[in-house]
Amino acid sequence: MIARVFVTLKPGVLDPQGAAIRRSLGQLGFDGVNSVRQGKVIELDLAETDPKAAKKRVTEMCEKLLANMVIENFEVELEP
C-alpha cells in the first residue's frame, strides 16, 4: 500500500520559500500569482494491507517525525 503525506505550513506561519517562488515566477513573466505556499510530499511504501491500520500508523509517523506539529499540518492519502 502506498501512503502519500502532504505536509504544509499552518496558516499564519511565514513562508519565505513560498515568497521567493512567487517573486521568481513574476520575474519569469508569470504575472497574477498573488501568493505561494510551498510544502512537501512524502511517499511511503507500506507492507500494511488494512487501510484503517495504515492510516493510523502513518498518522503516528507524522506526529513523531514527518511533520513539525507546531508549524505544519499534514494530510494522509492511501493508494492500494
Q: What is the mean pLDDT of residues 50-70?
A: 98
Question: What pLDDT, on a 0 to 100 scale, did the predictor assign at position 43?
Answer: 98
Q: What is the pLDDT of residue 28?
A: 98
- 49: domain range? 2-79
Task: At 20, list the grid cell.
Answer: 521567493
Q: For the domain that residue 26 is a member of, what is the CATH number?
A: 3.30.1280.10
pLDDT class for 33, splitting at 50, 70, 90? Answer: very high
Nearest to residue 41, comparing CAs of 70, 3, 13, 15? 3
Number of domains in the chain: 1
CA dihedral 67, 44, 15, 24 (to 10 degrees): 170
What does the pLDDT read at residue 72?
A: 98
